[in-house]
Amino acid sequence: MMYPKEYIEFLVHFHSDRDYFECHEVLEDYWKSVDPSNKSSIWVGFILFAVSNYHHRRGNYSGAKRTLSKSISIFNANMNQLSMLGLDKEKFLEDLGLIHNNISKGSNYFSYNLPIIDQSLLSQCKNKCQNDGQKWCSASNLENEQIIHRHLLRDRSQVIKERLFALKNKNSNR
Query: Binning pLDDT at 50, 70 and 90, where does residue 108 land?
Result: very high
How far apart (Å, rounded) are the C-alpha atoms in residues 34 and 162? 22
pLDDT at 159 over 60: no
- Judged against a pLDDT cut of 60, whether residue 154 lies above it is answered with no
Specify the pLDDT at position 94: 98
**CA atoms of 125 and 123, how far apart (whole Å):** 5
Residues 6+ apart with CB under 8 A from 114: 11, 14, 15, 87, 92
Read off the pLDDT band of 171 (50, 70, 90).
confident
Query: What is the distance between the alpha carbons of residues 89 and 79, in angstroms, rounded to a whole number?
Result: 7
Q: Quick one: what percent of the chain has pLDDT higher than 70?
A: 83
User: Would you state the pLDDT for residue 144?
Assistant: 54
Residue 116, classed as helix, strand or coil, is strand
For the segment 111-150, what is each residue's pLDDT rounded down to a tens digit?
A: 999 999 999 999 999 999 999 999 999 887 556 556 554 5
Q: In terms of pLDDT, which residue wins out, 43 or 155?
A: 43
The amino acid present at 104, given as its one-letter code, is S
Q: What percent of the chain has pLDDT over 90?
A: 71
Q: pLDDT value at position 156?
A: 47
CB atoms within 10 A of CB 85: 22
Residues 169 and 115: their CA atoms lie apart, in Å, by 45
Which one, of 41, 59, 44, 47, lies nearest residue 21 by Cα?
47
Q: Work out the mean pLDDT of the chain and round it to a whole number.
A: 88
Cβ neighbours, 10 Å, residue 100: 17
The predicted structure's pLDDT at residue 15: 96
Per DSSP, 45 falls in state H
* Tens of pLDDT, residues 39-83: 999 999 999 999 999 999 989 999 999 999 999 999 999 999 999
